[in-house]
Amino acid sequence: MEQLQIAAPCHFGMEAVLKREIYDLGYEISRVEDGRVIFEGDYEALAYANIHLRTPERILLVVAEFEARSWEELFQGIRGIAWENYLPKDAKFWVTKATSVKSELFSTRDIQSIVKRAMVERMSKVYGISHFPETGAEYPLRIFIMKNRVMVTLDSTGLPLHKRGYRTLTSKAPLSETLAAGLLMLTPWHADRILMDPFCGSGTILIEAAMMAANIAPGLDRSFTGEQWTNLIDPQVWRDLRADARGQINPDVRTNLQGYDLDPRMVEIARQNARRAGVADLIHFQQRDVRDTSHPKKYGFILTNPPYGERLEDQKDLPELYAAIGRAYRSLDDWSMYIITSYEDAQKYLGRKADKNRKIYNGMIKTYFYQYLGPKPPRRKKQEN
């Protein structure tokens, strides 16, 4: 089958996680750039990636790449693309987003207008019509220009991939589902280990962990724009991939996932979200203050997204809050702790410097992923026959 270039944008700082995830699905990486990974695959891979990848924001079909330093070069580059190979005569097409960084062409509105005009001119010549009804399937474009290098893509995802469908209610500053999944992949946590979130909010971290443990594909219960592209992808491909993903779910998995929050309303929201995700039986949610954190077992994990002090009036409470987190962690026997926060003094009040620290952008917010590494549990003895 035809090999395509497929781009998967992600949170800045999560490129290595996404790269590993794509490799694990069996695809070859073409290159890794800031905020995205480009890999090779066919049209089935485009559908498979949408259903199975946990950490990217969307899956884009790379249609062309070329240099453009002038509006004329952009126009000619777009007009030179064989759009008739991608878009049927009745396609609805538009540039849903254009970005330009360190390039001579910087007006995103002009980029959108010129791309559309060049596409219409090309397709008018091929199809022999001057007016396009745009009553058919949607083919949204995303244009990226970096240092005068233009990447032209078709968005096969539609609503971003973090819209799994289970989270209808959230806390004030929630992690996206894709970022929560990526943070989990940055830890050694596995389904047979204890995982606790003492600031669980709407439950995203634990729900993503439960879905991983049960091998529930993140895109299983939502739709994608690419499903409309019947000229490129047979609808049966999507049906077969979903049926296969459902067959891979492990209904017998056992987990020890615990979510706590001081706000009883958030605890109930987390429970509702877990029910919608089909993992309510795998997570224990309860109202509890971080100061009351305890657990009798060893070698567990804390992974949490505590308050950052987004509002000025909240910042005065952060020293005591992070000191309480530090005390709670020290009370646990041989545990590991992973915290994502933008609070610059977090390590000071947690009580010690993190073993590892990774910079990650949560949207436009620069955050730090502080990693406190506990000892590994002893290996289990193999049972004798």
Q: What is the pLDDT of residue 315?
A: 82
Q: From the DSSP assignment, how many helices (H) and strands (E) are in the chain?
A: 10, 14
Q: What is the pLDDT of residue 170?
A: 67
pLDDT tens-digit profile of 309-329?
A: 665 557 888 999 999 999 999
Stated as kind and residue range, the H or E segment containing 96 is: strand 92-101
Q: What is the pLDDT of residue 385?
A: 47
Q: What is the pLDDT of residue 382?
A: 58
Measured distance between the N- and C-terminal CA atoms of the chain, rounded to whole angstroms: 48
Q: What is the pLDDT of residue 173?
A: 63
Query: Are the C-beta atoms of 6 and 30 separated by less than 8 Å?
Result: no
Q: What is the pLDDT of residue 132?
A: 95
Share of the chain above pLDDT 70, in %: 96
pLDDT tens-digit profile of 1-18?
A: 679 999 999 999 999 999
Give me Rg for the CA atoms of the chain: 23
What are 18's two structure tokens? 């996404």
The rounded distance, in Å, linking the Cα atoms of 49 and 7 is 10
pLDDT tens-digit profile of 55-84?
A: 999 999 999 999 999 999 999 999 999 999
Q: What is the pLDDT of residue 2?
A: 76
**pTM, full prediction:** 0.94
The rounded distance, in Å, linking the Cα atoms of 229 and 126 is 19
The rounded distance, in Å, linking the Cα atoms of 319 and 92 is 53
What are 165's two structure tokens? 């469908």
What are 233's two structure tokens? 């992808």
Strand partners, 341: 368
The rounded distance, in Å, linking the Cα atoms of 135 and 239 is 24
Domains of the chain: 4-155 (3.30.2130.30), 177-217+252-372 (3.40.50.150)
- Stretches in the chain below the pLDDT threshold 70: 1, 169-173, 309-313, 381-385
